[in-house]
Amino acid sequence: MLQFEELLYAFDGLNTIIIVSDVDGRFLYVNDAFVSSYGYTRNIVIGEEINLIKSDYYDKLYYKNLWDTIKSGEIWSGVLLNKKENGDVIRTETKIIPVVKNGVVQKYIVFQEINADTQNTKTFLNEKQNLIDSIFCNSVIGIATVDLKGNYISVNNEFAKIHNAENPDILKGTRSQIYAYNKDSKTIVNNTKEYKRVDGTEFYGETIIIPIKESKNKIDSFLIFLIDVTEKHKQHLEQGKREAELLRQNQTKDRLLSIIAHDVKNPFSAIIGLSSLLNTGYEDFSKEEVKDFISRISESGENTFKLLEDLLLWAKSQLGELKINKGIVSVENVVSESITLTHSLAHTKRISVVNKCKSDDVVYIDEIMIKFIVRNLIHNAIKFSNSNSQIICSFINDYDDNYSAIKIRDFGIGIGSQFIDKLFNMGDFITVEGTDYEKGTGIGLSLSKEMLNLNDSDIFVESEVGKGTTFTIIIPK
């Protein structure tokens, strides 16, 4: 029987490439056909890992299946693209036969035939590379690679376009902001973030970042896929705003329907009830009782009128029908008219409303709106003042360099700090009973702020529980 060494000697005379390796994949023997085909001498390859001729054309799974097969003692057959000493690729039909003794694999014998297509391997690989390059350059998705320092190695046209770069070369070698956001990731990352273009403008990009590992399983670089989702992000934000606004409007509508059903109905019930008593039994009541009934009817009517006015103005604001018509307005006249319209309420509670404004105090604003605002503030001041107290209305021409101010101050129960930030928010509807259990909707202050903002003006409040409240309206000079 031939010895293994004699068999190896016989292999040298064959045209078939023959390799013998140990179980760890190290060269033990190569024949003359290997030397002439691969360009390596025996003294270079013997003892080296067989990975020396591996081309990395195949993925890890391909090689894993190969090794799993031969380690189990089974023969593996297939095509391998290996690397020659000069870097060229050689394509072979390969068969690997495990040498098994006593059920244990001792070594592997590799037989390789260079088939007729081998001469075209370089052309085949070039065509593959050209196809990959074409896909890379012309992809509708931005693609780039970065090194471990975060500098761009390669950039395709779409990636440059997203960054407003005239061509990919502008980005090559520069620092990648996308890598900077994700440099600590050792696995695939998929996220959406805000980035900057080369001209400083911002965009939202959806990215996938894939670590690229070299043969020793160490990360060598990163592959970045980028899609510009700025418009999609804007649409998402707008959709969120629309949904939030729709929810707010529905909540407001439901609250208003509740007000109409309850707060409008009750005053009318009082007016109808008191009027009916007077109509059917006028002679049965004393003058004081009749006067009281009339006062209560007047108060209920005034409260109902204000409520309906608030509701109608709110409806206009929701329909976008609040139009401004600015002009020179006398603050003294506005305050005087508001005091007159709220007189019955103030008289009932024996509250003195003082107008300290002068005849030459004027502002440039929509007259109808400022009348509504001042009347609403005086009405609220009366509502939250105790009997026998005072309300002061004043004007400051030089509130600061740019604004004049109307102040309405009461000495009533004040407003708790938990309500201050919500006073002007239509959606919150802060409704608190007055000192005589007067009802309210909370709409007036929200409308007042909206009207003032339409007039480039604003309103602020200062309050201390138990000491009173001051509302300040500031209006451009």
User: pLDDT per residue over 226-263, tens digit each?
Assistant: 888 888 888 888 888 888 878 877 776 666 666 565 55
How deeply is 448 buried, as exposed, middle or buried, from its count of CB atoms within 10 A (0-12, 13-18, 19+)?
Answer: buried
Q: Is 231 helix (H, G, I), strand (E, B) or coil?
A: helix
pTM: 0.46
- pLDDT in the model for residue 442: 63
In this structure, are residues 260 and 237 in contact, taking their beta carbons and an 8 Å threshold? no
- pLDDT in the model for residue 307: 67
In this structure, are residues 209 and 177 in contact, taking their beta carbons and an 8 Å threshold? no
329 contact partners, CB below 8 Å, separation of at least 6: 362, 363, 364, 365, 367, 370
Half-sphere CA count of 243, side-chain side, radius 13 A = 6
Find the DSSP H helices in 319-442: 331-341, 343-348, 367-383, 417-420
Give the type of residue at 76: W
Return d(Cα 99, Cα 7) in angstroms, integer: 13
Find the DSSP H helices in 228-264: 230-259
Asked if pLDDT for residue 155 goes beyond 80, the answer is yes
Residues of the chain with pLDDT > 90, as a percent, come to 27
Give the type of residue at 53: I
- pLDDT in the model for residue 2: 39
Asked if pLDDT for residue 137 goes beyond 60, the answer is yes
**Strands (DSSP E) along 339-467, which ranges?**
352-355, 362-366, 390-396, 403-410, 458-464
Return d(Cα 210, Cα 61) in angstroms, integer: 18
- 187 is written with which tokens? 């696995």
List, in order of start, the domains of the chain with CATH numbers. 4-117 (3.30.450.20), 139-228 (3.30.450.20), 239-476 (3.30.565.10)
Return d(Cα 282, Cα 279) in angstroms, integer: 6
DSSP 107-124: EEEEEEEE-GGGGGHHHH
Reported as a single tens digit per residue, the pLDDT across 189-204 is 677 888 888 888 999 8
Return d(Cα 436, Cα 296) in angstroms, integer: 12
Asked if pLDDT for residue 1 goes beyond 60, the answer is no
C-beta neighbour count of 94 within 10 angstroms: 18
Angle at the Cα of 438 from the Cα atoms of 437 and 441, rounded to 5 degrees: 125
Asked if pLDDT for residue 461 goes beyond 90, the answer is yes
Reported as a single tens digit per residue, the pLDDT across 319-349 is 666 788 899 999 999 999 889 888 878 888 8
